Amino acid sequence: MSIRAQLLSGIFYSAIAKYAGIVISLVVTAVLARLLTPDDFGIVAIATVIITFFGIFTDMGIAPAIIQNKELTDNDYSNIFSFTIWGGITLSFLFFLSSWLIGSYYSNETLTIICQLLSINLFFSSINIVPNALLYRDRLFKFIAWRSLIIQLAGGAIAVTAALTGAGLYALIVNPIFSAFFIFIVTFRKKPQRGSFSLGFYSIKKIFRYSSYQFLFNIINYFSRNLDKLLIGKFMGMGELGYYEKSYRLMMLPLQNITHVISPVMHPIFSEMQDDLQKLAFSYEKVIKLLAFIGFPLSVFLYFTASEITLLLFGEQWVNSIKPFQVLAISVGIQIIMSTSGSIFQAANDTKSLFICGLFSAILTVSSMLIGIFVFESLEAVAWCICIAFIINFFQCYWMMYGVTFKRNLLFFTKTFIMPITLCIILIIIFAISASFLFGLSLIACVCIKGTIFFFVSGSFILVTNEFNSRCKIKELLSNKVIE
């Protein structure tokens, strides 16, 4: 099977799980947002952020190293699996012990209990690293998709049931614990591993050079992505964190359900091109062009529909989330593209450049959020500061990739954005003009009209400019229909 066919097949099955997951996630979130308070979401957001940090130390860049390294033996996989078992036990125990310190720092006893329960999640996530990486290494994307979809559906149903039966904020942690346990069970049955009392250091040494930079990148990326939530929860309150968490999560939905369909597939497939970086760059530019046509117009649409989307999904009590979401929506397009860059650095065997980009990004993003929180002291200001940081990081990341990794003229990269940006300008003008005509209509009517404008204008633009050879493909499709 060709590289293109493998990529499309992987994306297809990942998309099935992710896009069905969008529906499940939105339904579950919409129900829970009406049953729980912003404070509840703020408390769980803090616990999730902290457990994510501990999770970095269980992974240590092992998963991408397993996918990239083609010389590891079955014995190596068993040794590394043993390493993750011991690491999972140690870090879960440390996280459990730290729960009292975390609860005390935020003056919240409930947070202590939440952290203790989530230590279960940490253990199963750790021991799932090797079997899960082997699924991606062997490109079993269909299995991964069905596994994720079924567990998402079951976990969402359990969370909603728990909330309806009075579980309160504990309904928010049922799903992650359930998912971590059953994903491991299903994955382990597909890719069983032998554990031992060995710490597996011999095999870890084989992937250390690659995984070490990945590990360092994961640490600094964690702080650039999560420190805002930790600081807002501490210095602005759990309620403000709840509002911010909702706006940030809405912004992340397109990223998680567009690029997270593509990125997990890109590394296993593009790693085959690690010895031909020009071919890798050329193939990646095709992906960038497609993502730019999706992400940039989507940023415009989300900006102009931020109010309707927030109120429809979460209700009137979340009105304070609208402005931060609107600002963060501006960065969606560039983030959709940039979130695939890690897979390319990995596939090109250049995790050192990935680490350097991550370090620059972390310093800039953390500085920006500190200014927003302590100087301007508002959620909207925090959103603006982070949005500006994302834009600067975007330019730095691809300057590094093309100058150091690919050693290729950056012009090949920039020319892919001319037509997507042109489409965005057209959409901005149309949405700005139509705003006065939509005033007074219901939320649903506004979203439907704006959505129709978005799809009609975008589709017409792509057809008229013949991007992606669209006219020929439509003619071919129509011809096949006539023949049938």
Contact by Cβ (8 Å): 83, 126: no
Note the pLDDT of residue 473.
67
Please determine, for residue 57, whether its predicted confidence score (pLDDT) is greater than 90: no
Q: Which of these ranges, 297-301, 332-336, 478-482, has the smallest mean pLDDT?
A: 478-482
Point out the least confidently predicted range of 18-22, 233-237, 454-458.
18-22
Q: Among residues 432, 427, 248, which one has the least CA distance to residue 322?
A: 248
Residue ranges of alpha helices (H) inside 330-442 are 332-338, 341-347, 351-371, 379-400, 411-414, 418-438
- 155 with 100: CB under 8 angstroms? no
3-state helix, strand, coil in the chain (%, to 5): 90, 0, 10
pLDDT at 218: 79
**Structure tokens given for 12:** 């297809």
Q: How confident is the model at residue 4 (pLDDT cuts 50, 70, 90)?
A: low
Angle (CA) 287 289 294, round 5° = 95
DSSP 8-class letter at 271: G
Which of 96-105, 145-154, 196-205, 429-438 has the least mean pLDDT?
196-205
Per-residue pLDDT at 450 exceeds 90: yes
| pLDDT on residue 329 | 94
49 pLDDT band, cuts 50/70/90, is confident
Is the confidence at residue 1, as pLDDT, over 60?
Answer: no
Core vs surface per residue 404-434: b (16+ CB within 10 A) or e: ebbebeeeebeebbebbeebbeebeebbeee
Q: What is the pLDDT of residue 478?
A: 62
pLDDT tens string 390-444: 999 999 999 999 999 999 999 999 999 999 999 999 999 999 999 888 888 889 9
All residues at 6 or more sequence positions from 117 whose CB lies less than 8 Å from its CB, including other chains: 170, 173, 177
Sorted by where each begins, the domain ranges of the chain are 1-212+219-230, 236-484
Q: Give mean pLDDT, residues 59-77.
A: 82
Question: Which residue in this structure is represented by tokens 């009137």?
Answer: 316
Share of the chain above pLDDT 90, in %: 32
Q: What was the pLDDT predicted at 12?
A: 64
Q: What is the pLDDT of residue 460?
A: 92
Question: What CA–CA distances, in Å, run from 147 to 151, 231, 370?
Answer: 6, 35, 40
Indicate whether 201 pLDDT > 80: no
Q: Which two tokens mark 334?
A: 């560039």
Is a pLDDT exceeding 70 seen at residue 280?
yes
What single-letter amino acid sits at 355?
F
Phi and psi for 441 in degrees, rounded to 5? -80, 160
- The values of phi and psi at residue 236, to 5°, are -115, -10
d(CA 355, CA 213): 6
On average, the pLDDT of the chain sits at 84
